[in-house]
Amino acid sequence: MVTHNPGAMLDRLLSEQGECEWIEFKVSQADPEDVGAYVSALANGAMLADRERGFLIFGIENLTKKKVGTSVRLKNKKINGGENFENWLNRLIEPKLNLELIDFIHDDMHFSIICIEASYDRPVKFKGAEYIRVGENTKKLLDFPDRERALWLATGRRKFEHATALANQLPEEIIQLLDVESYYALSSEPMPKNNPEIMRKFVSAGFINDNLQNSYDITNLGAILLAKNITKFPSISGKSVRIVRYVGQNKLHSDLEQEGKKGYAVGFSGLIKFIMERIQKEELYQDGVRRMQYIYPEIAIREIVANALIHQDFTISGVGPMIEIYSNRIEIINPGNSLIEIDRMLDERRSRNEKLAEAMRFLGICEERGGGLDKAMLVVEMLKLPAPEISSSKNSMKVTIFGMKSFGEMSKYEKQRACFIHCILRYLQKDYMSNSTLRARFSLEDGEYQAVSAVISDTIKSGKILPADPNQGKRTAKYVPYWAA
């Protein structure tokens, strides 16, 4: 993060109540050892306060916050027989931080500031020791175990979502880059009539950060959700959604390839509409009236696509979510393997990008706490389609939605997969799977009891389901997922 207007930043920092865990004022006292301890303490204090940076400011009286200027010149400072101070400081700070040393003139006086970007990796050390601010004093972190625990918790808070996508933007520029109107339409909140209130709301939501220089930094979260054109943001430009439609059941020939440009929230409705308009339909007659119906349920596509957007691994650069449309299936792929075992995808909840998930839920894009995949599976069952297939590799996760197949057309593996997912869905509804419920799931008559019994037997042998009661009779048998027994 580069400071463009240090004078404005100084005035903004002086508007704070005073020294705190992430701000320290000095006049000209710049003993190198003390400065090193301050850098450690202010970096750790910034993490505890959930701030982007800490600041050590020279040229300000501590108690009065009066501008008096300083004799300190950080960029020219030498120590230890001539070693450059900045190099010395960077060498003794661990882990490596982005330290910005600024000497400048403001109001006809000299000032110097060390801007210390918080690491959010681990507590920051100077010469092997970790420091922390306690009131206006700098102390060794080791002597304050409660703060040490809190600091370690803080190091895990910051992720891709908090990082800066585009720095130093004026409110008018932010409104040009982010789709503010669509945000307020999705949130069902009245749109403010003035820019300062919009900026206040976006800072609160984590979409932008006040950089203390009369301008703002757009975060990756704000950009990935609300960008009018994500190619304007280098850190997320490779995360656009790509749609490819193939002719037939393989990748030999394609007849369409499209890449989305809008942020995920403001572009989601258009994305789903684009997909649905390019998948096959089937002709149905209902009450003598001919109707065209999509061969894949829109609700299932919506929920699975939303899942792919939210749970992708943004640290895998240059690769975004992909939707591949074939004549007999749709594959929805996101970068990053699954954080949850595939067999537990429907009953466990864990998000790689919690802030993104929270915002998408708030804007009505996805289900609360990961329930969208459950909803997709229930819709598929209701329409008697083959069960979607979920697979995870080292660097990606894929969900495949299939077109209609009769029981006789399904492979042995497809029948077992449907049986297992049906068993999970029943269990999550506080109920049991039985031969009867599975026959209904496959649209089979009572006379097909033996065929379904064979599927259940094969699924038990595969280790996916178990009898709810080991002593139960065959005709009244009930079953649970293997992990529920």
Query: How many angstroms separate the CA atoms of 216 and 203, rounded?
Result: 9
Residues 435-459 as b/e (b if ≥16 CB within 10 A, e otherwise) read bebbbebbebeeeeeeebbebbeeb
Q: pLDDT-based confidence at 115, cuts 50/70/90?
A: very high
pLDDT at residue 285 tops 60:
no
pLDDT of res. 45:
92
Query: How many angstroms separate the CA atoms of 382 and 425, rounded?
Result: 12
Query: How many angstroms separate the CA atoms of 399 and 407, rounded?
Result: 21
Between 267 and 341, the more confident residue is 267
pLDDT at residue 146 tops 80:
yes
pLDDT of res. 156:
64
pLDDT of res. 134:
86
Is there a contact between 16 and 23 (Cβ–Cβ < 8 Å)? yes
CATH number at residue 82: 3.30.950
Question: Is residue 316 domain-shared with residue 415, that is, in the same domain?
Answer: no
Nearest Cα neighbor of 118 from 35, 53, 50, 56 is 53
Edge-to-edge strand ranges of the sheet holding 99-106 = 23-26, 53-58, 109-117, 99-106
152 within a domain of the structure (yes/no): yes
pLDDT of res. 98:
85
Question: Is residue 153 domain-shared with residue 172, that is, in the same domain?
Answer: no
182 within a domain of the structure (yes/no): yes
Question: Is residue 248 domain-shared with residue 228, that is, in the same domain?
Answer: no
DSSP conformation class of 150: H
The answer, as to whether pTM is greater than 0.75, is yes
User: Domain end: 158, 184, 216, which one?
Assistant: 158
pLDDT at residue 12 tops 90:
yes
State mean pLDDT over 147-167.
81
Min mean pLDDT across 79-83, 154-158, 219-223, 401-405 is at 154-158
Q: Are strands 164-169 and 137-140 parallel, antiparallel or unpaired?
A: unpaired
Question: Is residue 252 domain-shared with residue 188, that is, in the same domain?
Answer: no
The secondary structure of 278-311, three-state, reads CCCEEEEEECCEEEEEECCCHHHHHHHHHHHHHC
> E strands within 21-179?
23-26, 53-58, 78-79, 83-84, 93-94, 99-106, 109-117, 125-126, 129-134, 137-140, 164-169
Min mean pLDDT across 405-419, 439-453, 467-481 is at 467-481
Residues in the chain: 485
Phi, psi for residue 252 in degrees, rounded to 5: -60, -45
State mean pLDDT over 399-404.
94
Take residue 202 and report the two structure tokens written for it. Answer: 């976006």
State the Cα torsion 243-246-252-254 to the nearest 10°: -70
Question: Is residue 154 domain-shared with residue 46, that is, in the same domain?
Answer: yes
Percent above pLDDT 70 for the chain:
96
State mean pLDDT over 476-483.
94
228 CB-near residues (< 8 Å, 6+ apart): 176, 177, 178, 179, 261, 262, 263, 266
Between 411 and 368, the more confident residue is 411
pLDDT at residue 415 tops 90:
yes
Q: Are strands 216-219 and 164-169 parallel, antiparallel or unpaired?
A: antiparallel
Q: pLDDT-based confidence at 288, cuts 50/70/90?
A: low
pLDDT of res. 32:
94
Q: pLDDT-based confidence at 347, cuts 50/70/90?
A: confident
326 CB-near residues (< 8 Å, 6+ apart): 246, 248, 249, 250
10 within a domain of the structure (yes/no): yes
Query: How many structural domains are present in the chain?
Result: 4
Between 96 and 27, the more confident residue is 27
Look at the block and give the residue holding tokens 């895990």. Answer: 156
Question: Is residue 373 domain-shared with residue 435, that is, in the same domain?
Answer: no
User: Domain end: 237, 272, 292, which one?
Assistant: 237
Question: Is residue 204 domain-shared with residue 294, that is, in the same domain?
Answer: no
CATH number at residue 258: 3.30.565.60
Reduced to 3 states (helix: H, G, I; strand: E, B; else coil), residue 245 is: strand
Q: pLDDT-based confidence at 349, cuts 50/70/90?
A: confident
Min mean pLDDT across 49-63, 272-286, 403-417 is at 272-286
Question: Is residue 47 domain-shared with residue 148, that is, in the same domain?
Answer: yes
454 within a domain of the structure (yes/no): yes
Question: Is residue 367 domain-shared with residue 309, that is, in the same domain?
Answer: yes
Question: Is residue 369 domain-shared with residue 311, that is, in the same domain?
Answer: yes
Question: Is residue 389 domain-shared with residue 268, that is, in the same domain?
Answer: yes
Min mean pLDDT across 144-148, 206-210, 217-221 is at 144-148
User: Domain end: 237, 264, 295, which one?
Assistant: 237
> Residue 10 belongs to what domain range?
6-158
Residues 268-288 as b/e (b if ≥16 CB within 10 A, e otherwise) read beebbebbeeebeeeeeeeee
Query: How many angstroms separate the CA atoms of 46 and 77, rounded?
Result: 25
Question: Is residue 117 domain-shared with residue 227, that is, in the same domain?
Answer: no
1 within a domain of the structure (yes/no): no
94 within a domain of the structure (yes/no): yes
DSSP string across 48-69 = HTT-SEEEEEESB-TTT--B--
State mean pLDDT over 415-442.
96
Query: How many angstroms separate the CA atoms of 220 and 361, rounded?
Result: 17
State mean pLDDT over 126-137.
90
CATH number at residue 479: 1.10.10.10
Nearest Cα neighbor of 335 from 309, 361, 360, 372 is 309
State mean pLDDT over 56-81.
92
150 within a domain of the structure (yes/no): yes
As a whole number, the mean pLDDT across the chain is: 91
